[in-house]
Amino acid sequence: MGTAELWSLCYGEQCTCPNHRLLATATHPDEEVLPNDPLLEFLETSNEQPLEDVRPGLNSLLSSLKNKKAARDALAKQLRSAMVEFKAALTTLDSERAQLKTAITRGENAFSPVKRIPVEILQHIFQYAITFPPGMPYGCHENTGASDDSENEYPKFALWHNLPEPKDPLRTLKQVSRRWRAAVLGSTALHSWLSIHMSHIAKSTYEALLQQHLASSGDKPLSIAVTCELAHVKSLARHGYRLRDVLKPYATRIVELQVFLPDSIARELWGLQLPSLSSLLMHNTPRPRNPSSSWSLLKDCPLRRLVLYNYASPINCVADASSRTWEHIVHLELLSTPNETMPTGPSVECMLEVLSLTLQLRVAVLHVEQSDHDWPVAHVVCPQLMTLTIGRHNPTESRYELDPLQRLIDNITFPMLESLSIELTDGPGGLFYCPVEAPASVFASVVTAIERSSAPLVDFEYSHGAFDDADIHRLFEVAEDLDILAVRSISNPSGALRFVNALIPKEEFVPLPLLRTLCLSGRFMAHGNEHAMEEAVIALACRRWDADALQILDIEMEDRVDWRTEYDGKSAADNARAVIKKGIRECVAQGLCYYT
Torsion-angle region of 512 (φ positive above 0: left; ψ -120 to 50: alpha; else: beta): left
191-208 confidence digits (pLDDT tens): 677 888 777 777 777 777
Of 368, 331, 362, 321, the closest CA to residue 349 belongs to: 368
Cα radius of gyration (the chain): 38
- The predicted pLDDT at position 305 comes to 95
- Weakest mean pLDDT among 87-91, 180-184, 484-488, 577-581: 180-184
- DSSP string of 361-399, one letter each residue: --EEEEEE----TTS----EE-TT--EEEEEEPPPSSS-
Say yes or no to pLDDT of 590 above 80: yes
Contacts of residues 371-379 at CB distance under 8 Å and 24 or more positions apart, as own/partner, are 371/347, 371/400, 371/402, 371/404, 371/407, 371/408, 372/347, 372/348, 373/401, 373/402, 373/407, 375/347, 375/349, 377/348, 377/349, 377/352, 377/353, 377/407, 377/411, 378/352, 378/411, 379/411, 379/412, 379/413
Contact indicator for 481, 505 with CB cutoff of 8 Å: no
Question: Quick one: CA torsion of 156, 325, 299, 307, rounded to 10 degrees?
Answer: -10
Mean pLDDT, range 566-577, rounded to an integer: 69
- Weakest mean pLDDT among 470-479, 486-495, 522-531, 542-551: 522-531
Q: Beta 419-424 vs 412-413: how paired, if at all?
A: unpaired
Contact indicator for 520, 487 with CB cutoff of 8 Å: yes
∠ CA 550-443-156 to the nearest 5 degrees?
A: 80
Say yes or no to pLDDT of 176 above 80: no
Give every CB contact of residue 119 below 8 A, 6+ residues apart in sequence: 179, 182, 183, 186
Contact indicator for 243, 268 with CB cutoff of 8 Å: yes
The residue that leads in pLDDT, 105 or 289, is 105
pLDDT band at 433 (very low <50, low <70, confident <90, very high): very low
Can you give the length of the chain in residues? 596
CA-to-CA distance for 116 and 19, rounded, in angstroms? 54
Mean pLDDT, range 551-557, rounded to an integer: 93
- The predicted pLDDT at position 387 comes to 97
pLDDT band at 427 (very low <50, low <70, confident <90, very high): low
246-267 confidence digits (pLDDT tens): 888 998 999 999 988 888 778 8
pLDDT band at 92 (very low <50, low <70, confident <90, very high): very high
Mean pLDDT, range 106-119, rounded to an integer: 78
For residue 591, CA distances in Å to 239, 425, 433, 596 come to 62, 34, 40, 16
| Residue spans of beta strands (DSSP E) within 447-581 | 459-463, 484-490, 517-522, 552-557
Domain boundaries in the chain?
Answer: 3-108, 118-287+297-302
CA-to-CA distance for 414 and 460, rounded, in angstroms? 14
Contact indicator for 18, 106 with CB cutoff of 8 Å: no
114-164 confidence digits (pLDDT tens): 777 787 777 677 666 655 554 433 323 333 333 333 333 333 333 333 334
∠ CA 509-512-516 to the nearest 5 degrees?
A: 125
Q: Of the ranges 31-40, 259-268, 442-451, which is most confident?
A: 442-451
pLDDT band at 10 (very low <50, low <70, confident <90, very high): low
Q: pTM for this structure?
A: 0.70
- What phi and psi values does residue 47 have, to the nearest 5 degrees? -100, 5
Of 158, 135, 134, the closest CA to residue 260 belongs to: 158
- The predicted pLDDT at position 277 comes to 92
CA-to-CA distance for 557 and 107, rounded, in angstroms? 62
Contact indicator for 367, 427 with CB cutoff of 8 Å: no
- The predicted pLDDT at position 491 comes to 83
The residue that leads in pLDDT, 399 or 174, is 174
Question: Quick one: CA torsion of 346, 350, 351, 353, rounded to 10 degrees?
Answer: -160
Contact indicator for 496, 524 with CB cutoff of 8 Å: yes
The residue that leads in pLDDT, 329 or 148, is 329
- The predicted pLDDT at position 470 comes to 94
- Classify 553 as helix, strand or coil: strand
Say yes or no to pLDDT of 499 above 70: yes
End-to-end CA distance of the chain: 77
